[in-house]
Amino acid sequence: MTDVLRRGRASLAFSFLAQGATFALLVTRIPAIQDRYGVSDALLPLFLAAVPILAGVGSVTTEQLVKRIRPGLLLRCLQPVVLLALLGVGSGENLAELGIALGAFGLAVGGLDASMNMLGVSLQRAYGRSIMLSFHAAFSLGGIVGASLAWVGAHWHLALWVSYLPVVAVLLPATLIGSRWYVDGGASVDVPEEADGRAQGQSVVFKLLLPLCLVMTFAYIGDSTVSNWSAKYLKDVLGSSEQLSTVPYNVYMVTTLLGRSLGDLGVRRFGAVAVVRLGALVAALGFAVVALAPGAWVGMLGFTLLGLGLCVLVPQTFAAAGRLFPHASDAAVARLNVFNYVGFLIGSPLVGALGDAWSYRGAMVVPMVLVLVTVVYARSFAPQPDRYGGGHERPRTADVGRGSNGL
pLDDT single digits (tens) 299-337: 999 999 999 999 999 999 999 999 999 889 999 999 999
Q: What is the pLDDT of residue 55?
A: 96
Q: Taking CA 375 as the corner, what is the angle to CA 372 and CA 378, rounded to the nearest 5 degrees? A: 145
Dist CA 26 CA 36 (whole Å): 13
Q: Report residue 183: phi and psi, to 5°.
A: -110, 110
Among 179-188, 233-242, 342-351, 371-380, the least confident range: 179-188
* pTM, 2 dp: 0.88
Q: What is the mean pLDDT of the chain?
A: 88
Q: State yes or no: pLDDT of 1 exceeds 70.
A: no
Query: Would you place residue 403 in the very low, low, confident or very high pLDDT band (cuts 50, 70, 90)?
Result: very low
Q: Which residues pair with 183 in a beta bridge?
A: 403
Q: State yes or no: pLDDT of 138 exceeds 60.
A: yes
Q: Calculate helix-pair angle for 95-127, 71-91, nearest 10 degrees.
A: 150
Q: State yes or no: pLDDT of 404 exceeds 80.
A: no
Chain Cα centroid distance, residue 188: 26
Contact in structure between 125 and 322 (CB atoms under 8 Å)? yes
Q: Calculate helix-pair angle for 247-270, 296-310, nearest 10 degrees.
A: 40
What pLDDT, in 10s, does the model give residues 193-218? 433 333 344 478 888 999 999 999 99
Dist CA 85 CA 108 (whole Å): 9
Q: What is the pLDDT of residue 193?
A: 42
Among 28-32, 272-276, 284-288, 335-339, the least confident range: 28-32
Residue 400 DSSP label: -
Burial class (CB in 10 A: 0-12, 13-18, 19+), 67: exposed
Question: b vs e for 380-405, b when ≥16 Cβ sit within 10 Å of the residue's Cβ?
Answer: bbebbebbbbeeeeeeebeebbbbbe
Structural domains for the chain: 1-180 (1.20.1250.20), 203-391 (1.20.1250.20)
Dist CA 287 CA 275 (whole Å): 18
Dist CA 407 CA 97 (whole Å): 33
